[in-house]
Amino acid sequence: MIKIYLADLANDLNGIDIQTIPIGVGYVGAFCKKTFDKEVDLQIFRTFKPFWRKVCEAPPDIVGFGCYDWNAYLSLAAAELLKRNHPGCLTVIGGANVDVQPKDNKRFLQENPQIDFLVYGDGEKPFARIVRLFLQHQNEHDPIMTIKQTPVDGTRTLVADEIVMGSPTDSMMDLNVIPSPYLTGLFDKLLDNTKLMPIIQNVRGCPYSCRYCVSGSQTSKVRHFSYERLTAEIDYLRINAKNRILRLSDDNFGIIEHDIQIAKFIRNMFDTHKYPSILKAYSAKKLDKKTRQIAIILKPLMIMCISLQTTTPEVLKATKRFSTSARDIRFNLDFACKNGIKTGTELIFGLPGETLDSMKDVINNVMELHFDSIGISYLMLLKGSDLYRPKSRKEYQYRSKFLLGENAVTIHDDLFSFEIDEVAVSSKDYSYQDWLRFLRYQFLLELTHRYGYARELIYHLLSEGVKAIELFDELLDNKTRYPTVGRALDDYVYKCTGYMFDSQKELLKFVQSQINRWLTDKEALASTSRGRILFTLFVRYIFNDRRNGVLTDIHNATLNLYNGTEYETFRETTGLLLDLSIALMINPKEEFIDRKEYTAKYNVFAWIQERYRQPLSSYAQPEGMTFILQSQNQHSVTSAIASDKEQNRSDCYNFLVYLNSSLLRRHITGQVGSETKETLHRASPHISCEDQK
Ligand code: SF4
């Protein structure tokens, strides 16, 4: 029997940074165990310390590393230490970060001699082929060299500086030949860890080729596990997983008909058992009847995400990103609104050909569509993606800055490793100054629209013919007039740029200079990432500010930009929306009250239902109306707030990270007394898809 260890390592100086069950190595392990049964003794590891303890106690014959953006450097450092101490151990690396191009593979293997084999694409069969060869040759003088000289399908290796590779293997079309790592008990120990979120893979493969994305360079056929297998896994997790959140690893949930059945199963599970407490899933990028049906089924747990990234036609083309027509977007947004489904989109600044001016147009255009949530990020150059390659960098003249991956440091006796994120801070189409300006737009857009704290105020201004960017410019360029927003923006830019470095060497120096501090002050380590910077500012400027300074500044800027003739009415409706924004807020620092009532002299419910198309002033109700303000799903909100309390967190991490945008605030669900409407807009268990398209 040979010993095989599979390691998808998460950095852990400050607790585990990637808080998920390592599903990728789970599939490889389950398939290997099924193929070789008693010939292999196989174990899975999530962090370095237990892995290394086991290596020292019982040195392995083969180690497979799962290599992703969050652990690429740690995997290589662990493999280096392993090879130094156990040169007879065969090392294999696979996962999303492994490039498919032989030229890139050769350079990688030359730079990392501690790695014997690269596996790309579906890893189960290629890894099993390596294991089979090892079993055949294990008693020879140099089994590793013998195996390396044999071309193995789906793998690449280096012999005498020449690449040796087998044929590329086709995607595994029948995924059900891979046993479930959950149902076979491979993950039982990890499921006891409350911090590790279970992941289910429903569908494998993405048919698109977006150049900024790792999946885009590995375009593969879309395949799925069987309904019986998936529902058995979800039920197993309901009973056994200590972490109650569930993530679907699919790149496009809703892309195939089968997903509707899975959605129904999850919804029934939620209604009956309140499991999962929170669902994390990426919607299919192209919307059709299936995705709309799923949006209705999973209304309390998901939003309908129409992921745009940009709307600039030349940029979409250069990025190889498909485009969704404005007509389709509007149709789907109307559909969602009619059915009480919350919507969202995501944008990226820095894609090939995007300028700051074109990005401003994108923001204005997307705002006019009235999504419930708009997230925006800057372009990261991800290892394994097409834009990461030297040729693409040269073509677009990308210049980068480097920062530490979130919480991504591991220290243990002879091992010191950290992950490096790379941000494209300028290109031939935008300067560093443009990028800095973008950071300020980003903060405002995230605060007002991704997290939603001033959505209604801004849509109110838009309905008077003012563009979103005009409002943002007013806030950015007049710090003394809007002091709280000014301070928050300065803090954000200062902190974000303060942790970015021009070279990896400078980042290394910074990390080394901070290690002693981080060993005793773990929050200081966490606070270097963009996400945490944002959360800290939300806690300071939104949750802890009883004066509501940020919202008041936005309210004042809204008034200052008004150029109509009905100022008094506009002032009244703007004041109403400021009060409403405060009432809609769920403050995780305070006791959670699910339902509130709100009285206004305007029908704000109808105004939102009709997607802010007319000014609020045309919805006057002089006798007043009382509305119900309620969360989209009380259970998920309560469970996230409870997790923050249990973990004694002051940064509201679980609330801000795990809840989707529709769960962060209350919504107007109807008028007091109109219980039918309230029911419709909460969580209808029945599918009533009115979709005629
Ligand atoms: S961004 Fe989404 S759609 Fe595009 S390649 Fe990546 S996973 Fe596929």
Output the six-digit token pair for 226: 């069987």
Average pLDDT, the chain: 92
Closest CA to 289 of 304, 274, 276, 300: 304
Q: Provide φ and ψ at 343, rounded to 5°.
A: -120, 160
The atom of ligand 1 lying closest to the CA of 219 is 5
437 CB less than 6 Å from ligand 1? Answer: no
Helix axes 549-561, 567-584, angle to 10 degrees: 160
Residue 677 has pLDDT above 60, yes or no: no
The atom of ligand 1 lying closest to the CA of 251 is 7
For 224-261, letters b (16+ CB in 10 Å) and e give bbeeebbbebbbbbbeebebbbbbbbbbbbbbbebbbe
Q: Is residue 16 a contact partner of residue 10, using CB atoms and an 8 Å limit?
A: yes
Which residue ranges make up each domain of the chain?
A: 2-177
Residue 689 has pLDDT above 60, yes or no: no
210 CB less than 6 Å from ligand 1? Answer: yes
210: left (phi over 0), alpha (psi -120 to 50) or beta: beta
Convert the pLDDT of each residue in 321-356 to its tens digit. 988 888 999 999 999 989 989 999 999 999 999 999
536 CB less than 6 Å from ligand 1? Answer: no
Residue 659, C-beta contacts closer than 8 angstroms, at least 6 positions apart: 278, 636, 637, 640
Q: In what order do the strands lie in the sheet with 595-602?
A: 595-602, 620-630, 667-671
Residue 11, C-beta contacts closer than 8 angstroms, at least 6 positions apart: 17, 18, 70, 71, 74, 405, 407, 408, 409, 410, 417, 418, 419
Q: Is residue 208 a contact partner of residue 219, using CB atoms and an 8 Å limit?
A: yes
Residue 67 has pLDDT above 90, yes or no: yes
Q: Where is 641: in which H helix or E strand?
A: helix 634-646
The tally of CA atoms less than 13 A away on the side-chain side of residue 467 is: 10
SS3 call for 411: strand
Residue 77, C-beta contacts closer than 8 angstroms, at least 6 positions apart: 410, 415, 416, 417
Distance, CA of 463 to CA of 457 (rounded, Å): 10
Output the six-digit token pair for 93: 């690396």
206 CB less than 6 Å from ligand 1? Answer: yes
CATH code that applies to domain 2-177: 3.40.50.2300
Convert the pLDDT of each residue in 42-58 to its tens digit. 999 999 999 999 999 99
pLDDT at 17: 66
- Residue 645 burial (CB < 10 Å; 0-12/13-18/19+)? exposed
DSSP string, 20-85: B--HHHHHHHHHHHHHHGGGEEEEEESSHHHHHHHHHHS--SEEEEE--TTTHHHHHHHHHHHHHH
**Cα dihedral 80→82→87→88 (10° resolution):** -140
pLDDT at 430: 98
For residue 31, which amino acid is it? F
Output the six-digit token pair for 96: 């999303």
Residue 18 has pLDDT above 80, yes or no: no
Mean local confidence (pLDDT), 444-462: 95
Output the six-digit token pair for 297: 């089924």
pLDDT at 675: 58
For residue 186, the CA-to-ligand 1 centroid distance in Å is 30
Q: Is residue 261 a contact partner of residue 208, using CB atoms and an 8 Å limit?
A: no
SS3 call for 229: helix
pLDDT at 626: 96
Residue 688 has pLDDT above 70, yes or no: no
Whole-Å CA distances, 400 to 388, 396, 502: 11, 12, 7
Output the six-digit token pair for 186: 């491979």
Whole-Å CA distances, 479 to 97, 342, 442, 455, 471: 43, 33, 17, 21, 13
Convert the pLDDT of each residue in 77-120 to its tens digit. 999 999 999 999 999 999 988 877 888 889 999 999 999 999 98
Q: Is residue 477 a contact partner of residue 518, using CB atoms and an 8 Å limit?
A: no
Residue 680 has pLDDT above 60, yes or no: no
690 confidence band (pLDDT: 50, 70, 90): very low
Q: Is residue 530 a contact partner of residue 500, using CB atoms and an 8 Å limit?
A: no
Measured in whole angstroms, how far is the alpha carbon of residue 263 from the centre of its chain?
Answer: 20
Q: Is residue 624 a contact partner of residue 600, using CB atoms and an 8 Å limit?
A: yes
For residue 256, the CA-to-ligand 1 centroid distance in Å is 16
Convert the pLDDT of each residue in 224-236 to its tens digit. 999 999 999 999 9
Lowest mean pLDDT among 341-350, 459-468, 670-679: 670-679
For residue 23, the CA-to-ligand 1 centroid distance in Å is 19
For residue 319, the CA-to-ligand 1 centroid distance in Å is 11
Distance, CA of 542 to CA of 563 (rounded, Å): 29
DSSP 303: -
DSSP 501: B
Convert the pLDDT of each residue in 489-546 to its tens digit. 999 999 999 999 999 999 999 999 999 898 888 788 888 888 889 999 999 999 999 9
The atom of ligand 1 lying closest to the CA of 282 is 2
Decide the pairing of beta strands 343-349 and 304-305.
parallel
The residues with which 410 forms a beta bridge, in sequence order, are 417
Convert the pLDDT of each residue in 109-160 to its tens digit. 999 999 999 998 899 999 999 999 999 999 998 999 999 999 999 999 999 9
Output the six-digit token pair for 8: 């998808």
208 CB less than 6 Å from ligand 1? Answer: yes
Whole-Å CA distances, 451 to 445, 454, 534, 560: 9, 9, 11, 24
309 CB less than 6 Å from ligand 1? Answer: no
For residue 322, the CA-to-ligand 1 centroid distance in Å is 10
Residue 685 has pLDDT above 80, yes or no: no
For 543-564, letters b (16+ CB in 10 Å) and e give beeeebbbbbbbbbbbeebbee
Residue 219 has pLDDT above 70, yes or no: no
Tell me how many degrees the CA angle 457-473-304 measures, rounded to the nearest 5: 50
The atom of ligand 1 lying closest to the CA of 309 is 1
Convert the pLDDT of each residue in 544-601 to its tens digit. 999 999 999 999 999 999 999 999 999 999 999 999 999 999 999 999 999 999 999 9
For residue 310, the CA-to-ligand 1 centroid distance in Å is 14
For residue 438, the CA-to-ligand 1 centroid distance in Å is 24
**Segments of 379-449 assigned E as strands:** 399-412, 415-426
Distance between terminal CA atoms of the chain?
59
286 CB less than 6 Å from ligand 1? Answer: no
Measured in whole angstroms, how far is the alpha carbon of residue 505 from the centre of its chain?
Answer: 28
Residue 264 has pLDDT above 90, yes or no: yes
Residue 179, C-beta contacts closer than 8 angstroms, at least 6 positions apart: 30, 31, 33, 34
Residue 687 has pLDDT above 50, yes or no: no
Distance, CA of 276 to CA of 660 (rounded, Å): 14
SS3 call for 625: strand
Lowest mean pLDDT among 167-171, 416-420, 470-474: 167-171
Residue 493, C-beta contacts closer than 8 angstroms, at least 6 positions apart: 436, 439, 440, 443
Helix axes 432-445, 356-368, angle to 10 degrees: 20
